């Protein structure tokens, strides 16, 4: 009798773990991919994601379409999956419009849109592997990246 009860318990637990693994895979498939991580945060800063304001802190993962904000005393340092480095200075707003890093599939793209403030950019692997796939947009200019480092300042209009 004990053997039969143990067998039922084992089968029930196996079924539960199987169902949890399937639902976990479905949930993780629905989550947007992580494209970078905040490495350094000073002062007031936040990440806006789908109408949600997340306080910026070191280790926070960044996703495509996130908007990075710094306050008058804030700064943020981001490392993207392709080792692109981005630093935002005080009173800055930048939108990560697009980030695709799938070199095996030949899919590479990074598009950053600077709304205001200051930024320092150091290109990563996307710029090395596919220079035409990198764009840095500002209200008055579009910068094509050819494997470089630059600083930009965008004043409010």
**How many Å apart are CA 112 and CA 59, to the nearest integer?**
20
CB-CB contact of 96 with 109 (8 Å)? no
Q: Which residue has the higher pLDDT, 54 or 146?
A: 54
Confidence category of residue 143, pLDDT binned at 50, 70, 90: low
Same domain, 117 and 138: yes
pLDDT tens by residue, 61-89: 999 999 999 999 999 999 999 999 999 99
* Domain with 15 in it: 1-31
Would you state the structure tokens that stand for residue 26, as one six-digit string?
């479905």
**How many Å apart are CA 43 and CA 54, to the nearest integer?**
14
Same domain, 87 and 111: yes
Q: Which residue has the higher pLDDT, 95 or 20?
A: 95
Same domain, 88 and 18: no
Q: Residue 26 has what pLDDT?
A: 46
| pLDDT of 112 above 70 | yes
Same domain, 8 and 42: no
CATH code, domain with 138: 2.60.120
Q: What are phi and psi of 23, to 5 degrees?
A: -70, -35
Q: Which residue has the higher pLDDT, 156 or 119?
A: 119
Residue 46 CA neighbour count, 13 Å, CB half = 10
**How many Å apart are CA 79 and CA 115, to the nearest integer?**
20
Looking at the structure of the chain, the number of domains it has is 2
Same domain, 6 and 83: no
> pTM of the full predicted structure?
0.77
Lowest-confidence pick of 33-37, 38-42, 119-123, 140-144? 140-144
């Amino acid at each position: 009798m004990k053997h039969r009860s143990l067998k039922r318990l084992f089968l029930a637990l196996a079924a539960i773990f199987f169902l949890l693994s399937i639902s976990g895979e479905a949930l993780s498939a629905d989550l947007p991919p992580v494209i970078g991580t905040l490495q350094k945060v000073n002062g007031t800063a936040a990440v806006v994601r789908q109408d949600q304001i997340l306080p910026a802190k070191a280790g926070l993962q960044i996703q495509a379409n996130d908007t990075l904000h710094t306050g008058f005393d804030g700064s943020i340092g981001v490392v993207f999956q392709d080792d692109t480095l981005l630093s935002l200075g005080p009173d800055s707003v930048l939108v990560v419009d697009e980030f695709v890093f799938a070199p095996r599939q030949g899919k590479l793209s990074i598009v950053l849109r600077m709304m205001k403030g200051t930024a320092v950019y150091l290109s990563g692997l996307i710029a090395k592997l596919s220079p035409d796939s990198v764009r840095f947009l500002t209200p008055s200019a579009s910068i094509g990246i050819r494997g470089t480092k630059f600083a930009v300042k965008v004043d409010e209009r």
